[in-house]
Amino acid sequence: MTVNTYSDKEIFARVKEIIEDILAMESDSEISPSSSMIDDLGMESIDFLDLAIRLEETFNVSVPRRDPLQRAIAAFGREKFIQEGKLTQTGARLLKLVLPEIDQSRIYEGVLESDIPPLITAQTYVNVIKRGLEIADWRPEECEKCGSKDFTPADKDKLEFPDGNVPPGPIFLCNSCGNMITAPSFDGEFYKQLSEEGITLE
Ligand SMILES: [Zn+2]
């Protein structure tokens, strides 16, 4: 299996290149890891979609279409994170956790929801790609059914999935019992991280 060996620098260089292309900027632009995608670069919704698709093609990982706050709201319910248009204490904790590259003093209870998207930087996408590459390289520790540590990477095209929902990450088959083991999904990992922080479904 391939092991992904991109450095942060290499990932950022590709992210920068793609953003420059989308925004029709010169390649010697001053985009830095801390550039705000909205405030500094003027990215619009369609550009974010374009960026996600092109990053997926480049790195062969899945890139979420929505920002972390919107994904958490979709999974855990809105009132936990936003009340009266402002970040709750839990919402602030969530964002500090998932956006460690942001100046943490800009994230606190009471920040307007509309002030969150401008916090997303080029580095946020570098982190998303890193996480995606980790998932792509994931291997199971042991089979949860029989305890075997002997696996074969599966060819997804040859497997059948209920409802045709093909998991995005790699899949392994246990060589002892035939159990199918799927890599954690991006959001699955995200929710796990949240629940470790005490942010859980009601
Ligand atoms: Zn097994």
Predicted confidence (pLDDT) at residue 72 exceeds the cutoff of 80: yes
| DSSP symbol at 66 | S
Q: Are residues 131 and 143 in the same domain?
A: no
47 & 111 share domain: yes
Instruction: Determine the structural domain holding residue 156 and report its residue range.
Output: 139-183
CATH number for the domain spanning 57: value is 1.10.1200.10
Q: Find how far residue 39's CA is from the centre of its chain.
A: 21
Ranges assigned E (strand) in 6-125? 82-83, 86-87
Give the model's pLDDT for residue 1. Answer: 47
Same domain, 81 and 117: yes
Q: How far is the CA of 14 from the centre of ligand 1 (A)?
A: 39
User: Which residues lie across from 112 on neighbouring strands?
Assistant: 86
In this prediction the pTM is 0.81
Determine the Cα–Cα distance for residues 113 and 128; give it in Å rounded to an integer.
21
CA of 176 from ligand 1 middle (Å) equals: 5
82-93 mean pLDDT:
93
- pLDDT exceeds cutoff 50 at 38: yes
> What domain count does the chain have?
2
Mean predicted confidence (pLDDT) in 59-84? 87
